[in-house]
Chain A
Amino acid sequence: MLTKRIIPCLDIKNGRTVKGVNFVNLIDAGDPVVLAKQYAELGADELVFLDISATLEGRKTMREMVLKVAEQVNIPFTVGGGISSIADVDALLKCGADKVSVNSSAVKRPELVNELADKFGSQCVVVAIDAKQVAGEWLVHLAGGTIATELNLFDWAKEVEKRGAGEILFTSMNNDGTKAGFANEALAKLSSELNIPIIASGGAGTVQHFVDTFEKGKSDAALAASVFHFGEILIKDLKKELQNNNISVRL
């Protein structure tokens, strides 16, 4: 049986992890390669690296980091942040990334999704969507949730599926950072209306939240950052608890 995936997400700036990471026995908690290896050993199913560098120099450093991660890590990983062209994706895949995620650039120019799927295959095209529920409607937001668009989350998700996205990474801006659970209603709706995998993001605080997003939210994977980075939830324990709840995981 295909298992539900647990995905730690690392924010990277100029080749270094930015959000605090508080693992024991780490030589360098700021080194994404060291962290990635550790997560792979701890049972993570996949990793996401989000580049939040704002400079060209930072982007170049990101590619060097991707190359080092690919050299040393034996599980798949996705790279996102600032990707807006075939050339960007080509460079990252050549460095060994398995998938890339596009967000604002796809909203600005939806044809990008078709171009990437045609050129590299849907399997490596993740479309990340940040959305916020405003007056009952889920609206897509850009630039880390700061800029609202008029796009409806579900319409946009269906459109990118048609254009060739292989997977959706949905972050609820209402839930992100709250540690109060994932946006399971919206997730379940996405999962029933689309036929590609959905990654839940935003709101993870407890083990039960993961159980809920797989059961109620029908998510195919769950992504989180701080609960893993600060050791609040250990991936092994989380997976055991999921298994106790009859949720299929890789242990």
Chain B
Amino acid sequence: MKLVIIDYGAGNIKSIQFAFKRLGVEAVLSNNIDEIKAADKVIFPGVGEASSAMKMLQESGLDAVIPNLKQPVLGICLGMQLMCNSTEEGNTKGLGIFNVDIKRFSNSVKVPQMGWNVITDLKSELFNGISENEYMYLVHSFYAENCEEAIATTDYDVKYASALQKNNFYGTQFHPEKSGVVGEQILKNFLNIK
């Protein structure tokens, strides 16, 4: 199986590559459009600020490629957020794969949310073998509103969508690559999606 992690200059992608390595799968880092299109599975990572990450996607032409991918695609953290309609961070227009907007947490809670929180309302093969209320590691100031495409929710300030799915596209706000053995199971499940 060929697994490609999209390398468009956004943040720490080494951790994701290492997490797959621990599962026995060598992931390739690439920004090559042909290589990404030809992959069996694609990871769309992202850490940092939304508008500059979006700019990097546009400069490499990846903004037009990602929404048309046919294989399973997993967006992680900012990657997931960029797959949505828009984000309040830098007033950025997203890729529009998920029909939901990204908002900022209110100041009634500490921002960013940093640490371990539970995921509930699980509904996707991504969570095979994962029970409700497992802890995942999250670091973020912006969140996807709860919506029809939510496959997991988390409570912080509001109840929000901590994972999304539409057709072959998956997204997690949490970092499965940093969420212990439970996170590794989620990555394994992604690899097993047909």
- Indicate whether B67 reaches chain A with its CB closer than 8 angstroms: no
Asked if residues A120 and B116 are in contact (CB atoms below 8 Å), the reply is no
Q: Which residues of B contact A46 (CB under 8 A)?
A: 115
Q: Which of A104-120 contact B (CB under 8 A)?
A: 118-120
Binding site of A, secondary structure by majority: helix, strand, loop or mixed?
Answer: loop
Query: Is there an interface contact between B115 and A1, defined as CB atoms closer than 8 Å?
Result: no
- A124 / chain B contacts, CB cutoff of 8 Å: 11-12, 47
Are the C-beta atoms of A2 and B112 separated by less than 8 Å?
no
**Contact yes or no, B114 A197, CB < 8 A:** yes
**Interface residue ranges of A145-179 to B (CB < 8 Å):** 166-167
Within the complex, the shortest CB–CB distance from B36 to chain A, in Å, comes to 21
Mask for A219-230, Cβ within 8 A of B = 1, else 0?
011000000000
Q: Is A122 an interface residue (CB 8 A)?
A: yes
Minimal beta-carbon separation of B164 from chain A (angstroms):
20
Main secondary structure of the interface of B (DSSP, over half): mixed
A1 to B115: give the CA distance in the assembly, Å: 10
A20 at the interface (CB under 8 A from B): no
CB distance from B69 to the nearest CB of A (A): 25
Q: Check B19 against A74 for contact (C-beta < 8 Å).
A: yes
One digit per residue, 1 when the CB lies within 8 angstroms of any chain A CB and 0 when it does not, for chain B 17-28 equals 011011000000
Docked-complex contact B180 and A5, CB < 8 angstroms:
no
Contact A71 B181, beta carbon cutoff 8 Å: no
Supposing A96-B15, A120-B48 touch, asked if A2 and B22 sit within 8 A by C-beta, the answer is: no
Closest to B21 in A: A71
A231 close to chain B: CB less than 8 A: no
Q: Which of B18, B114, B184 is in CB contact (< 8 Å) with A71?
A: B18
B156 cross-chain contacts in A, Cβ below 8 A: 2
By the criterion CB–CB under 8 Å, are B21 and A250 in contact?
A: no
Interface flag for B88 (CB, 8 Å) = no
Residues of chain B lying within 8 A (CB to CB) of residue A221: 115
Give complex CA distance A196, B137 in Å: 17
> What's the Cα separation between A129 and B14 when bound, in Å?
28
The docked-state distance in angstroms from the alpha carbon of A95 to that of B15 is 8
Check B178–A118 contact: CB distance below 8 A: no
**Is A195 on the interface with B (CB-CB < 8 A)?**
yes
Given the interface pairs A3-B117, A121-B48, the reply to whether A195 lies near B110 with Cβ below 8 Å is yes
- B contact residues vs A (CB 8 Å cutoff): 11-12, 14-15, 18-19, 21-22, 47-49, 107, 110-118, 135, 137, 139-141, 155-156, 175, 177-181, 183-184
17 A-B pairs with CB atoms under 8 Å apart are A2-B156, A5-B115, A40-B180, A45-B116, A46-B115, A72-B22, A93-B11, A98-B139, A120-B11, A120-B48, A121-B47, A121-B49, A122-B141, A124-B11, A195-B107, A195-B111, A196-B110
8 closest pairs, A vs B, by CB?
A: A121-B48, A96-B14, A123-B139, A250-B135, A250-B116, A2-B117, A76-B178, A71-B18
- Beyond contacts A121-B47, A123-B112: 5 other A-B pairs, Cβ-Cβ < 8 A, are A1-B118, A70-B14, A76-B139, A76-B178, A98-B12
